[in-house]
Structure 1
């Protein structure tokens, strides 16, 4: 089986590049013949990651991505073309984004077998936080894009809720559900790594759009009044459409000794930061799909406090994640949740252990094995693996 994986890919930092890396890494360890069709990125051109065959043939914001990807596919001649997508993968503005989302349908029309991993649905995106002038037009265009994506041979979504929407609204019958998966080897929680005389709150993300830090920072004085040894670690970078967001917050809060801005975290720094934190905070205003940050926290056995958003609540229910929620518009409610957790080390330990067990049940080897079984079914081959991911529903 030869696979072409179309995804943003490191050292690019575009949407899903980290997830694309973990898919490719597991394909490599599975001995599959594959090529990454990655994105061209701005800035210094760094060496490709060792051990991967990468062709950078498309670029965010370009209108000719379809042609470039098709040209690469005709050279590679894969058995399966696997797209790793959100609606903004190919562009932050409407025209290139929509043009890019036509690519899977055109690839299938060119007689390739196509599978899509779709990380969210336009129907579940709250466009109020995207500064979009005509949200109803975007929603309409999004529904057309969804119908085009559904022309793939099969589609995987990350929540059962998404599958139900696609079945009921679009009449789709070739939809599978696969958990997001744990990105990397699970680490058992270790209290010795988490200083007993501190309470470290970690917030990681691409900030400024629907992931915003204002509510968390507003909650901080109340948390410190009740838990003087608390501190807030802010990691990540600006959302591509919100340049300067973190710099403005750092200018206001940088002198506060209880707040540290860590900048962008490469994966080799995750262990030190997550293992020494006491809780991961997800201060979202809406959802862009099942949270990758939540799954990183689960990987390191970290308790989670998150905004009460439908996708996050559904994620916790479907995958068994220990997650406390708060009203996303109330800094007082967030402070109460954090204070209660800080004062209850037994609850912290219980949540940590539950999340670690969840991580063990949804490792990337299990997730990717279920994809390979799906691809074998599409090709009429025997499945290469009997391993199936917990909660996985096949589309084949």
Structure 2
């Protein structure tokens, strides 16, 4: 089977590049698959990852992406075109973003089987945190774009509520719920001896500046260190593309505080050390845009999670059996109470760690990718049988074998 994976891809740092990398890496491990990554162009040239077949054919914020990708897909002649998407994957410019979201439908019309993994829905995005000037226009465009995405052969979403929305509101068909999954095939159990020695490291990780902001966490941490002097805050990640300079402004404000460390962008190979040496992951979000990749990283390393009381995260925790403590959204005191309560209870920390690690074992990347491949393989088999079915179809005017025998059989007259 030949698969074209359309996604942002490292060394690009665009949204979902890490998830695209882990999908491609898992597909590469299957010897019967041929995988070509149709990735975003880099702003500055960098060496490609050697083990992958990467063709950088589309450009962020470009209106020419539909024609570029159509040409590349025709050249590849794939059996499956798999899109790994956010609504903003192809651009922050509304026209570029919208035109990119029409590509799965036009690809299907071109004769290719298309599948979309959609990481969020417009209905669940708080546009006030994205500095959107015309939210009603965005909602309308998002509605149309969602219907265009549903024109693909099939679509996967990462929360059950999203599937219900696509079926009930949009009358979507062939919509699947599939778990986000962790980014590993064999996660290692947590090493409890590394936590709290000498400091309890409180980790915040993400792309900052929109619905992920640090002001509340900073104020809350001031309350935490008054009760737990051995606490240390680690802020990792980078700016959201729509808020350049945000992280630098926060780091500048707290540059003289030794209890707060800003580590910046974390390379893939450095993520395990960052999570294994932390005591808890904090998600100080004001809203959510789907199932959290950061939460699944924490589960992979058996790390307890504290996050804002947001419905999407509640559903994620309930559906996947994650150990998460919730604080009142927007309340610095509630967040401080949850952090202190957890760090003061070794028993609770261990229980939540084991719960998250157990959840991680149930959704490793091989297990998740196997679900997709079974679906793709089923389509391939059905498609292969279609020409045979057409060949075997008998015209309506040809009498069936049973009809011929009935015509030739003698008519028995009852004995009088």
Q: Please confirm whether the aligned pair reaches a TM-score higher than 0.5, indicating the same fold.
A: yes
Shift in Å at residue 160 of structure 1?
0.5
Q: 1:174, 1:131 → 2: CA distance?
A: 34
Partner of 1:376: 377
Partner of 1:259: 260
Q: 1:311, 1:267 → 2: CA distance?
A: 26
Relative to structure 1, the CA distance from residue 25 to residue 381 in structure 2 (aligned partners, 3 Å threshold; closer, same or farther) is: farther
Q: 1:172, 1:381 → 2: CA distance?
A: 21
SS at match of 2:257: coil
Partner of 2:357: 356
Q: 1:80, 1:230 → 2: CA distance?
A: 49
Kindly name which structure, 1 or 2, has the bigger radius of gyration based on alpha carbons.
2
What TM-score results when the alignment is normalised by the length of structure 2? Answer: 0.90
Shift in Å at residue 47 of structure 1?
1.3
C-alpha distance after superposition, 1:192-244 (max 9, x if no partner): 22234421100000000111011100101110011010010000000011011
Contact 2:150 2:173 in 1 (8 A): no
Q: 2:273, 2:79 → 1: CA distance?
A: 40
Partner of 1:319: 320
Shift in Å at residue 381 of structure 1?
5.8
* Corresponding position: 1:53 with 2:56: no
Partner of 1:93: 93
Partner of 1:153: 153
Shift in Å at residue 46 of structure 1?
1.3
Instruction: Summarize the alignment of residues 244-393 of structure 1 with structure 2, pairs less than 5 Å apart.
Output: 244-380=245-381
What TM-score results when the alignment is normalised by the length of structure 1? Answer: 0.95
Unaligned runs of 5+ residues in structure 2 are 384-416
Instruction: Give the superposed CA RMSD.
Output: 1.0
Shift in Å at residue 146 of structure 1?
0.2
Partner of 1:207: 208
* Corresponding position: 1:4 with 2:4: yes
* Corresponding position: 1:33 with 2:38: no
Q: 1:221, 1:52 → 2: CA distance?
A: 46
Q: 1:102, 1:291 → 2: CA distance?
A: 25
Contact 2:283 2:307 in 1 (8 A): yes
Q: 2:379, 2:135 → 1: CA distance?
A: 37
Partner of 2:105: 105
Partner of 1:68: 68
Shift in Å at residue 173 of structure 1?
2.1
Q: 1:321, 1:33 → 2: CA distance?
A: 34
Shift in Å at residue 55 of structure 1?
0.4
Q: 1:118, 1:226 → 2: CA distance?
A: 42
Matched residue pairs, number? 381
* Corresponding position: 1:190 with 2:177: no
Deviates more, 1:186-195 or 1:304-313: 186-195
Q: 1:273, 1:113 → 2: CA distance?
A: 40
Q: 1:296, 1:72 → 2: CA distance?
A: 33
SS at match of 1:46: coil
Q: 2:19, 2:151 → 1: CA distance?
A: 23
SS at match of 1:270: helix
Partner of 1:141: 141
Q: 1:214, 1:240 → 2: CA distance?
A: 19
Deviates more, 1:1-10 or 1:195-204: 195-204
Q: 1:165, 1:5 → 2: CA distance?
A: 26
Partner of 1:122: 122
Q: 2:205, 2:183 → 1: CA distance?
A: 15
Q: 1:196, 1:204 → 2: CA distance?
A: 21
Shift in Å at residue 187 of structure 1?
2.1
Shift in Å at residue 380 of structure 1?
2.1
Partner of 1:227: 228
* Corresponding position: 1:24 with 2:24: yes
Shift in Å at residue 315 of structure 1?
0.6
Q: 1:129, 1:186 → 2: CA distance?
A: 34
